[in-house]
Structure 1
Amino acid sequence: MDISNRKIFSTLNPRNVWIPIILGLAIAVLLFMSDDQVSWENLGILFQPARFFPLLIAFLVIISRDAGYIYRIRTLTGERLSWKSSFYVIILWEFSSAVTPSVVGGTAVAVFILMKEGIPFGRALAFVMLTAILDNLFFVLFAPLVLWLSQGDVFSGIPDNIFDRGLPFFFWLSYSLIALYTLVMSWALLFHPRGFKWFLLKMTTLRWLRRFRIKANQQGDEMIIASQELRGKPLDYWLKIICATIFVWVARYLMLNSVMAAYVDLSWGQHLLTFGKQLIMWIVMLISPTPGSSGTAEFFFQQFFQSLLGEYTFGISLLWRLLSYYPYLFLGAVFLPRWIQRVFFKKNVEEVLKEEKDKI
């Protein structure tokens, strides 16, 4: 895993915020110009009076979700991180996710941030990997439940032409791959890391995979180190982080439900349908090649929710991204210089002063 300062700061660069912003705006403009159902009246929803209470709930949900993330990372680290450090970790982690494609992932960046906050490499790697597994497990467990409760209606109203073989086929294929990956990573991290390393090395004995052998050996060693850090954790540790994971993901999805409810009347069934459609859409955003799914999210939001929101679709999609995505671009750009000053300069000065004091 490459966690050199140069590599990480090529990602954690405030100038990177302009790439997803331009992409998102470009796709929004194209949608606006190419869709006959989109007009200035659709865009005007952002400036129309909205129900105050649902919008208040949306803001509270956003704050609660971030608080849940902060609580989870502090609990994951066994409270080795202070609340202030946990805040910086989450803001910068969200920022790195916003400026990199989902398919690339931000594991190295997250490990780097935790290490600079005083968490050793093995523990930092274990916490980041466990976070990814818990997030995937939420999807693996809750997606079938929501599909069953909605009786498959989450696939309704979505044009078939955007998926050659149909959305249900694409969803279940992606779901199976994510479930398999989560199962393998859980087995490797929590139960048998040495068996995982053996498997990687065995696979790279094949002629066309030999060039990956060094990398496979490194990843196997990292898995063993990470696994050792999680052994012997008490039951309440696991219960806390599992409950926190469920909380943050439910809050993430309920934010859109609240925004929709501020402009259109939704029944309880439609709220459940909205929640389920977001789970399905998450699959598409997960494999998006654009930074933070910028552009991709706006396009597929229209495909998924046009039948439910009608003329309000375009305006609500912009408001959804303005609340759920763009704030982390700006927060990251604001707090990144402060974090660099804090972990690279202030701590170094404190260490020098401590050394001088010890000499005296």
Structure 2
Amino acid sequence: MEISNKKAFSTLNPNKIWIPVLIGLAISVWLFLSDDHVSVENLQVLLQPLSVFSLVLAVIVILFRDAGYIYRIRTLTGKSLSWTSSFYVIILWEFSSAVTPSVVGGSAVAVFILMKEGLSFGRALAYVMLTAILDNLFFVVFAPLVIVLAHGSIFDGITTDALGKSLPVIFWTSYSLIAIYTLVMSFALLVHPRGFKWLLLKITSWGFLRRYRARANKQGDEMILGAKELIGKPATYWFKVVLATVFVWVARYLMLNAVMGGYVLLSIKEHLFIFGRQLIMWIVMLISPTPGSSGTAEYFYGLFFQHFLGEFTFGTSLLWRLLAYYPYLFLGAVFLPRWIQKVFFDRKKGNQK
């Protein structure tokens, strides 16, 4: 994994926030013009007292979620990071994920950030890989569960156009790729890293794949290095990080439930159904080619929740993205200069004393 200052800061670039903003704005304008249900009256409802309460509740849920992320990264690193450093890591990690396509993610930048916070390459790599595995396992375990609990009706009520009909195929394709990737990465990091390296070298000994042999050897060494950092961790360590993972993802989805509850009356069963549908939608969005799924998220939101929200679909989609996505673009732009001052200049001055 090549991680240089230049490469990392090409992603951690505040100027990049305008790309997803413009994409999201363009899609939102198109959705506004193409939706006959949107009117000034139902947009004004977004500011009614009940709606304001639901927004406050949604913000509280987001704060709990972010607190869970901060707790998880500090626990993952064995408290090697201070609470302040953990805050910076999460904000910048979210920022890097927001300005890169979902299919790419911000893992390399996350390793860079952790290294600048004082962790060795091996530890940083291990923690970032473990985080990815835990997050993917949440989807792999809970997605089929919600489909079973919904008795196969999780896709009911979605638009009947060509894309709407193909959503189950898109979902199962994405799910299969994520499941395979997670299985391979779990085996490589937690079970048999040397066996994984042997497999990589074996595969890259065939024909045209030989050109990738040096890279495979390096990736195998990195996997072994990362695995060494996780050997011997106590059961309490795994319990805490798994519980924190479930907490942050549940909180992430409950935020939208809180927003929707301010505009339409939902039963407990419907709340659970919407929670499950969010999980399905998130897996579909993971293959989005746009930064932070910008545009893709707004479009799929309408497909998945028009059935429940009716005339409030467009307005709540704006609120959803304004609460769950755009803040991290601007928080990253605000805190990035402070983090650079902290890790590149303040720490250097401290070492010189």
TM-score where L is the length of structure 2: 0.97
Residues 227-270 of structure 1 show CA distances to partners (whole Å, capped at 9, x for unaligned) of: 01100000000000000000000000000000000111111111
Structure 1 unaligned spans of 5+ = 354-360
The 5 A counterparts of 1:1-360 are 1-163=1-163, 166-353=166-353
Tell me the SS of whatever aligns to 2:205: coil
Gaps of 5+ in 2: none
Contact 1:153 1:273 in 2 (8 A): no
Q: Is contact 1:143–1:279 with CA below 8 Å preserved after alignment? A: yes
- In the TM superposition, structure 1's runs of 4+ consecutive aligned residues that sit over 4 Å from their partners are none
- Work out the CA distance in 2 between the residues paired with 1:20 and 1:63: 23
CA contact (8 A) 1:160 1:166 kept: no
| 8 A Cα contact 1:45 1:315, kept in partner | no
Q: Is the 8 A contact 1:259 1:316 kept in 2?
A: yes
Q: RMSD of the alignment, in Å?
A: 1.4
Structure 1 residue 52, shift from structure 2 partner = 4.8
Paired with 1:162 and 1:256, the residues of 2 have a C-alpha distance of 26
Q: Which amino acid aligns with 2:90?
A: I
Seq. identity, %: 70
Measure how far apart 1:161 and its partner are: 2.7
| Closer, same or farther: CA 201–161 of 1 in aligned 2, 3 Å | farther
Query: What secondary structure, in the 3-state scheme, does the structure 1 residue paired with 2:161 have?
Result: helix
Instruction: Work out the CA distance in 1 between the residues paired with 2:28 and 2:42.
Output: 12
Q: Distance in 2 between matches of 1:234 and 1:81?
A: 19
1:165 positional shift: 6.2
Greater shift, 157-166 or 291-300, is seen at 157-166
Farther off after superposition, 123-132 or 174-183: 174-183
Note the alpha carbon deviations across 1:52-101, whole angstroms, 9 max, x for none.
54333211110000000000000000000000000000000000001111
Distance 1:162 1:115, change over 3 A: farther
TM-score by length of 1: 0.95
Bigger mean CA offset, 45-54 vs 289-298 = 45-54
Q: Is the 8 A contact 2:55 2:258 kept in 1?
A: yes
Q: Is the CA contact (8 Å cut-off) linking 2:253 and 2:275 kept in structure 1? A: yes
In the alignment, residue 61 of structure 2 is paired with which amino acid? V
Q: Deviations over 1:249-298 (max 9, x none)?
A: 00000000000001111111110111111111111211111111111100
| Whole-angstrom CA distance in 2 between matches of 1:261 and 1:7 | 43
In the alignment, residue 215 of structure 1 is paired with which amino acid? Answer: R
Q: CA deviation at 1:144?
A: 1.4
**1:290 counterpart SS class:** coil
Which one is further off, 53-62 or 122-131? 53-62
State the one-letter code of the partner of 1:22: L
Look up the equivalent residue of 2:8 and give its one-letter code.
I
In 2, Cα distance between equivalents of 1:338 and 1:305: 39
297-306 or 152-161, which deviates more: 152-161
Matched position secondary structure for 1:265: coil
- Please state whether the residue corresponding to 1:153 is helix, strand or coil: coil
- Give the deviation of 1:184 after TM superposition: 1.0
